């Protein structure tokens, strides 16, 4: 990829981020923070690449640590967000009231 294309992608992503978030209601700020937190766990892709290409022990160890961190970030982030959002419900109609586990 040419440098300018890479910069363009990044800048556009920033603007999309600004645009898409501006409308989120306060109610959802905590889950949103948690979800974006999980999304930056996409660094996992990066840590997989460096770990996968590691040739010596130091990089192997560091890469493994980075991957563990990133997996925790991704998995923990999404699970915790899902747990929060699962609880957001409308006023239940008497007919469709479902039991909560």
Partner 1 sequence: MNDLIEVAYLATAVCFILALKLMNSPKTARRGNLLAAAGMALALIATFFLRDPTSGRWVLGNYEWMAGAFVFGTVAGVWSARRVQMTAMPQMVALFNGLGGGAVALVALIEAMQVGGMGHRDMVQAVTTVLSLFIGAISFSGSLIAFAKLQELMTGRPITYFGQKVVNLLLLAGCIALMILLCAGPYSLPLFLTLLGASLAIGILFVLPIGGADMPVVISLLNSFTGCAAGLAGFVLGNTALLIGGGLVGASGLILTLEMCKAMNRSLENVVFGAFGSAPSGASSTASALQGSVRSYSVEDAAIIFASAESVVIVPGYGMAVAQAQHVVKELADRLTAKGIDVKYAIHPVAGRMPGHMNVLLAEADVPYDQLFDLEEINPMFVETDVALVIGANDVVNPAARYDKASPIYGMPILDVDKARTVIVCKRGMSPGFAGIENELFLQPNTIMVFGNAKQTIAKLSSAAESL
What residues from 3 to 62 belong to the interface with partner 1 (CB under 8 A)?
3, 6, 9-18, 20-55, 58-60, 62
User: From the CB of 95, what's the least distance to partner 1, in Å?
Assistant: 15
Q: Which of residues 70-89 bind partner 1 (CB under 8 A)?
A: 70-89
Q: Does 100 bind partner 1 (CB under 8 A)?
A: yes
Burial of 2 (0-12, 13-18, 19+ CB in 10 A): exposed
| Of 90 and 95, CB closest to partner 1 | 90
User: From the CB of 42, what's the least distance to partner 1, in Å?
Assistant: 4
Concatenated DSSP letters of 13-78: HHHHHHHHHTT--GGGHHHHHHHHHHHGGGHHHHHHHHHHT--SHHHHHHHHHHHHHHHHHHHHHH
**# residues contacting partner 1 (CB under 8 A):** 84
Q: Does 96 bind partner 1 (CB under 8 A)?
A: no
Rounded CA-CA distance 33/31 in Å is: 5
């Amino acid at each position: 990829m040419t440098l300018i294309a890479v910069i363009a992608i990044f800048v556009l992503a920033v603007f999309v981020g600004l645009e898409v978030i501006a409308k989120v209601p306060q109610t959802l700020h905590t889950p949103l923070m948690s979800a974006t937190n999980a999304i930056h766990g996409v660094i996992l892709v990066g840590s997989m690449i460096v770990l996968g290409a590691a040739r010596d022990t130091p990089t192997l160890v560091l890469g493994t640590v980075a991957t563990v961190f990133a997996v925790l970030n991704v998995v923990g982030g999404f699970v915790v967000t899902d747990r929060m959002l699962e609880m957001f419900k409308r006023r239940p109609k008497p007919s469709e009231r479902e039991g909560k586990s």
